[in-house]
Structure formats: C-alpha cells, structure tokens
C-alpha cells in the first residue's frame, strides 16, 4: 500500500513539473513571437483627469486605445474619419481603417491591407469620455498623431543598385544625423541621440563605435538641435582625429587610447568643423552674432590651434535665431573649403555653397547640382504634388558621363531616376547617404517614421 501511495505521489509531482515546463516553454515561444509594440512613455492612466492612452503595434498595424473612463466611441470615430490620410508615391492610393470596440474603455483602430510602401496618419484629437469631458491623449508619437507604415517595423540603412534592387541592409534603431567623416569622403559618421558616434563605411557597411566614453556623460553649455554636443573629423591616413567637445572646445584625439590634446577653445558656439585632408588645418564655423542665428564665420586654425585666417559671415543657413544646427563644412582639396549657402535672399539659388581659399579668402558661390528638365518631368509623372515637396538632395551618379542616374531626396523619401529607361524608383523613406565607389546608392529607410538628418555638401 505504501508503494502505491509513493508511486501516486511521484506521478503527481511529475505531472506538476511537466506542466510547469510546458508553461515556461509556451512563454518563451510567445516572447519570441511578440510583435514590436510602441508604448507611451507614461503608461499610468489612473487618476481623476480623463486620459486616453495610445499603444501602437507596428507589426500588425493596430493602434490600441485605453482610457480611465468610458469612451464616447462616436467622438473617436468622428476624429479618425476627419483626419484619416494616406500617402505613397503612386497616384490615387487608397487604404481603409476599421474601428473595433473591445469594451467600454478600450478600442482598436486597425489599418488592414495597407498598400506596399504606404503610410497612413490619423488623429484622435477631440475624443471625449461618455460624461462629455475631453480626454488628454498620451501617444508615443509626436502630438496626437497616429502614424502607421506598411510592413514590419524596421529602420536602418539599405544599399540598392541602379535597378532599384536591394543588395544589402543594416538595421539600426535610430540616429540623429549623419555626415562625411572627412577621411576622403569614404566613411560617414552617425551621431545618435544618446551621444554615441559610429564610423560607418559606405562601401562595406562596416560600423565601429568611436565614441569617446569619458565625454559621454559630460554636461556642456551647448547642444545642437539634434541633441548632440560633439563633432568629429578624420584626416586622411591619420591614426587620430579632431573632436569639438561640447561644441566649444577642439581636441586632437589619439584613436588608439582616446587620449586628447587641447587645440582650440572658442568663446562662441561651434556650428561645424572639418579637418584638411592632411590634418594640418581645421576649418571651423562659428556663430557670427553669438545669438545662434543663421550666419557663421569661417575660422581656419592649424594643428597647434594658431589662427591662420578668419572670414566673417562666410556661411548661411536660413533659420531663426536661437536654433543650434550643425552646418556642413568640406575641404574640396587641400586648399579649398566649401561652406553652405541655403535660403539666402542674396543668391539666385536656394541651395548652394561658398568656396574659400584657406588663406586668400572668398573664391565663388555655386548652386548645388540641379535635376535636368527631363528628370523633373519623370518625377512629376510619378509623384503627386511634386511642387509641394522640397528637394533636399540631388546626387548624380559619380563618373557617369552621360548623367543617366540621379539619386534624389525629397520630403517624403528618396528616389532613383533612370533617364535612359525613363523610370523613377523609390529607394526608401529617408535621406540619402550617398553613392558607393561600386555604383550602389545608400539610403536611410524606416517603416517606423524615424527620420535622420543629413549634414553634408555635394
């Protein structure tokens, strides 16, 4: 009898263990299949104030609404209906939405069967509780907007050939801005919102964290509008690089051990910086009026920090006072420096550059490359309301004497124009990084609506 009791006890214990293991396995499998959910940073909705919390499932294209009071569902339906908007490069693109009531305090807004490459937006501004009180909407996206992009949530860089075929992709969660590293224009620097800096090879896709960790937690007087407070620039073939710490103090940094040597300290905020190819000189753009205005003075110093020359109001980027943007600076050769001229009423063009000899001064002003008329006509035939979109970059394929291919960055994404085949291909929802020596074009692409700023001179 005791043997039977022990056997029964053993079987019971075994069953409990197997059930626990099964639950653990199910939990792991469920976690592996969990879609990417974007939650509102402040998820607490308890309290007296009516709050409507939005959570986005970007893989399933669903916006989930949760409230701390009963929802006036008609007010939500009216808000979505009056603000629903869909866009894609194709003409007459259509999409739909479905609103499901889960219970009195929960609703789902689904966007099924989105067209390839489409983006939908809507708002829930004006949503009310059943007692008539307006909800304070909490959303993980800016303002009250709900944005959904077709496809699985993904952000990063992609390489495409001239047929529009994706050759390679490299996922990246987010970035603030990208700019050439200065090392022969073959590498780019990627600056993130958390002060991390990556050096990124356009051809191979190799990426290296080059952050000076000792500086990462330092508080500084100046921060750019991108949330960053440092700029790097690499001379060609050097082991070290120059870095503008706190956008105020320039150091030469040994790449092997990150030991730094003070070069120059500015009393004004630094807008931009670039080393000459041989590393003997550094071109620095400084706030002209000390009010974070649109004008920048060009200062040229040597590797010891001695001032070689200074040219007042050399650069201009049209923006209001109080905005600390990073300006591009580029050495076109060992003696010529290019600085931006954007939105200047004194010029006949909107986007261009001013060229300076590092000692003698101003040489000329030049407009950025423009699209040929037939390329503009091709864009017009493929994209609705082209006049309402700003052309941010025009990059003809290097060493293409016939100028067959043009990569173009517009407000809504990047495109490749094949003038010979009379085709326009969308490259991605983001800015251009440039052409590789092998003839591929690199672009930032995000199905999550994440944008990256490009800081460079063609």
From 98, 129, 149, the end of a domain falls on 149
3-state secondary structure of 32: helix
The verdict on 131 and 53 lying in the same domain is yes
Nearest to 108 by CA among 140, 130, 87, 80: 80
3-state secondary structure of 198: strand
52 C-beta neighbours (distance < 10 Å), count: 26
Q: How far apart are CA 53 and CA 44, in angstroms?
A: 9
The verdict on 189 and 112 lying in the same domain is no
- The pLDDT of residue 430: 87
Q: What is the pTM of this model?
A: 0.74
- Average pLDDT estimate for 251-260: 92
- The pLDDT of residue 258: 87
The verdict on 92 and 189 lying in the same domain is no
Where does residue 126 rank: exposed (0-12), middle (13-18), buried (19+ CB within 10 A)?
middle
The verdict on 139 and 165 lying in the same domain is no
What is the total residue count of the chain? 458
Work out how many domains the chain is built from and give that number: 2
Q: How far apart are CA 205 and CA 168, in angstroms?
A: 9
The verdict on 89 and 128 lying in the same domain is yes
Q: How far apart are CA 180 and CA 410, in angstroms?
A: 20
Model pLDDT for residues 367-415, shown as the tens digit of each residue = 998 999 999 999 988 876 666 677 889 999 999 999 999 999 987 789 9
The verdict on 456 and 412 lying in the same domain is yes
Q: How far apart are CA 162 and CA 83, in angstroms?
A: 37
- The pLDDT of residue 118: 78
CATH number of the domain encompassing residue 101: 2.60.40
Considering the domain boundaries, does residue 8 fall inside one?
no
Considering the domain boundaries, does residue 29 fall inside one?
no
Return the DSSP state at 77: H
Considering the domain boundaries, does residue 251 fall inside one?
no
The verdict on 48 and 139 lying in the same domain is yes
Model pLDDT for residues 288-310, shown as the tens digit of each residue = 999 999 999 999 999 999 999 99
The verdict on 88 and 115 lying in the same domain is yes
Lowest mean pLDDT among 72-86, 174-188, 189-203, 249-263: 174-188
The verdict on 384 and 447 lying in the same domain is yes
CA dihedral 267, 269, 272, 273 (to 10 degrees): 30
The answer for residues whose C-beta is within 8 angstroms of residue 338's C-beta and 6 or more apart is: 329, 330, 331, 332, 353, 354, 355, 356, 457
Considering the domain boundaries, does residue 426 fall inside one?
yes
For the record, the structure tokens of 148 come out as 């959904």
Considering the domain boundaries, does residue 178 fall inside one?
yes
Q: How far apart are CA 333 and CA 25, in angstroms?
A: 61
Model pLDDT for residues 94-128, shown as the tens digit of each residue = 889 999 999 999 999 999 988 876 778 888 889 99
The verdict on 55 and 87 lying in the same domain is yes
pLDDT at position 197 over 60 = yes
The verdict on 97 and 190 lying in the same domain is no
For residue 442, the enclosing domain spans 154-211+369-458
Considering the domain boundaries, does residue 321 fall inside one?
no
From 149, 168, 189, the end of a domain falls on 149
The verdict on 425 and 446 lying in the same domain is yes
The answer for residues whose C-beta is within 8 angstroms of residue 76's C-beta and 6 or more apart is: 65, 99, 107, 124, 127
Considering the domain boundaries, does residue 78 fall inside one?
yes
Considering the domain boundaries, does residue 320 fall inside one?
no
């Amino acid at each position: 009898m005791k043997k039977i009791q022990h056997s029964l006890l053993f079987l019971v214990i075994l069953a409990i263990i197997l059930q626990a293991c099964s639950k653990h396995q199910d939990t792991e499998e469920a976690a592996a299949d969990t879609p990417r959910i974007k939650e509102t940073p402040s998820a607490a909705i308890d309290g007296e104030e009516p709050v409507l919390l939005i959570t986005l499932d970007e893989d399933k294209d669903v916006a989930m609404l949760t409230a701390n009071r009963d929802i006036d569902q008609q007010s939500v339906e009216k808000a979505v209906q009056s603000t629903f908007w869909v866009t894609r490069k194709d003409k007459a693109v259509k999409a739909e939405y479905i609103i499901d009531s889960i219970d009195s305090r929960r609703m789902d807004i689904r966007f099924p069967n989105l067209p390839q490459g489409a983006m939908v937006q809507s708002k829930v501004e004006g949503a009310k509780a059943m007692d008539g009180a307006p909800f304070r909407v909490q959303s993980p996206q800016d303002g009250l907007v709900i944005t959904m992009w077709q496809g699985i949530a993904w952000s990063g860089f992609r390489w495409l050939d001239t047929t529009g075929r994706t050759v390679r992709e490299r996922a990246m969660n987010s970035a603030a801005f990208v700019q050439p590293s200065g090392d022969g224009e073959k590498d780019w620097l990627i600056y993130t919102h958390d002060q991390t800096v990556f050096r990124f090879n356009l051809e191979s896709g190799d990426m290296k964290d080059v952050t000076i960790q000792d500086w990462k937690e330092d508080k500084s007087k100046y921060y750019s509008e991108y949330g960053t407070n440092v700029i790097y620039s690499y001379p060609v073939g050097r082991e070290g690089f120059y870095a503008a710490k706190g956008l105020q103090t320039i150091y030469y940094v040994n790449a092997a051990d990150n030991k730094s040597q003070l070069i120059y300290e500015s009393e004004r905020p630094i807008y931009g910086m670039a080393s000459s190819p041989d590393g003997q000189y550094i071109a620095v753009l400084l706030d002209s009026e000390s009010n974070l205005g649109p004008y920048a003075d060009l200062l040229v110093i040597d590797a010891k920090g001695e001032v070689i020359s200074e040219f007042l109001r050399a650069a201009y980027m049209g923006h209001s006072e109080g905005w600390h943007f990073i300006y591009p600076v580029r050495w076109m050769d060992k003696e010529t420096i290019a600085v931006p001229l954007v939105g200047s009423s004194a010029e006949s063009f909107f986007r261009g550059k001013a060229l300076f000899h590092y000692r003698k001064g101003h040489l000329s002003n030049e407009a950025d490359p423009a699209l040929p008329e037939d390329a503009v006509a091709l864009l017009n035939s493929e994209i609705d309301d082209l006049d309402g979109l700003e052309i941010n970059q025009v990059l003809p394929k290097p060493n293409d004497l016939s100028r067959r291919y043009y990569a173009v960055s517009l407000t809504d994404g990047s495109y490749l124009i094949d003038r010979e085949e009379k085709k326009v291909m969308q490259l991605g929802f983001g800015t251009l990084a440039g052409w590789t020596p092998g003839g591929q074009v690199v672009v930032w692409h995000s199905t999550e609506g994440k944008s990256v700023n490009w800081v460079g001179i063609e």
